[in-house]
Chain A
Amino acid sequence: MIRRWPWLLRALHWLTAGLVAVMVPAALAAQALTETATDRAEDFVSLHILCGLVVLALTLARLALRLRLAASRTAPPAPILARLRSILFYALLFVLPLTGIFKLTLSGLDVMAFGHTLIAAGGHAPGLARRLNSAHAWLAWSFLALIALHASAALWHVLRVRKGSSAQLQARQGG
């Protein structure tokens, strides 16, 4: 049986997925264009930053909603692997934007998008900023690996359920 989440959670899930699908190629495009088309690269970075901030806000909303639903839930809890996956996803959806924000602000730089300052620089800890810069990159690759794993597992699950349903149907028709 496929467990159906409330429509609002599903909407938030797909909205986040869509933003991630934009922000990852935007970051890669910015890196690729830095030396040949700096202004276009800057636009891609701006897009990456804007999407990242929206993802952070959506994750907060999603987590609040899930906690509220969990309090009123009567269904049995999800399997341990599914719960672990959720924890990892939420952790990364929080930590990735935060490392992105703090790597800039702790270097004395504003968080900017399309020429507008979104978050002003604060503090000065270049050593920590360097570590956050490196962490941001490593966590991003881990996030992509987790997405690949999650998508494969979801696909496998859907196919298995479909196969089970059609087998049941055939058995009923045969009987």
Chain B
Amino acid sequence: MRLRSILLLAILAAVPALARAALQDEEPAPIDLGKTLKHYATIARNDGSFRRLWIDEASLAGIRRGEPLPDGTTIAMETFYGPKERATVFIKRKEEGKWLYGSFEPGTPDWIDMKSKTVCHACHIDAAVDLTFTLPVLAKFREGAPPLRFLCDQPGRVPCEPTFYDQVGAP
């Protein structure tokens, strides 16, 4: 019984380390996202899944720390359940101050029919500014940092606290 508890604790302690290790491995090759975008972050989760984020270059140039993103900003988020398990690509674009969302399966990019979606907003409400969790990370990338790779110690799609992204993206 005691040995089982120790083993369980060891496995739980090893999960974040494994996730970090997955990030250090060679990342999956880029796929056609239907647009020319720049990779700015890869975020691992403590269940072994990770996300790779991309932004369009024109909007990147217009980013100011702490301020909402400019109209036209286009962000893509690839999701992976493991290094070889690609899943849905989520996309969002800002039009007239409002975020529109969409998604497509890897290899079949589709940027048509993007909509304002409450199901997406429901999570993004928890972001500190402009319904975008990685805003500080984007600012740091814009200021010249290489694509940031880090672990958000939460499973799957549970976002980290806004202060966490502030710390990662601090100048």
**Which residues of chain A have a CB within 8 Å of any CB of chain B?**
30, 34-36, 38, 41-42, 44-46, 49, 103-104, 107-112, 115, 126, 129-130, 133
Contacts and interface: CB of A to CB of B under 8 A. Distances in A.
B125 A107 contact: yes
15 contacts: A30-B122, A34-B123, A38-B88, A38-B101, A38-B117, A42-B118, A104-B121, A107-B121, A108-B98, A109-B116, A109-B121, A110-B116, A130-B125, A133-B125, A133-B126
A45 B122 contact: yes
A30 B117 CA distance: 12
Contacts of B98: 108
B131 interface: yes
A46 B120 contact: no
A49 B128 contact: no
B125 A103 contact: yes
Contact of A42 (B119, B128, B131): B119
Residue of B87, B90, B122, B156 with most chain A CB atoms under a 10 A cut-off = B122
Interface residues of B, number: 25
A30 B121 CA distance: 12
A35 to B, nearest CB: 6
Contacts of A30: 119, 122
B42 interface: no
Contacts of B128: 126
A108 B131 CA distance: 10
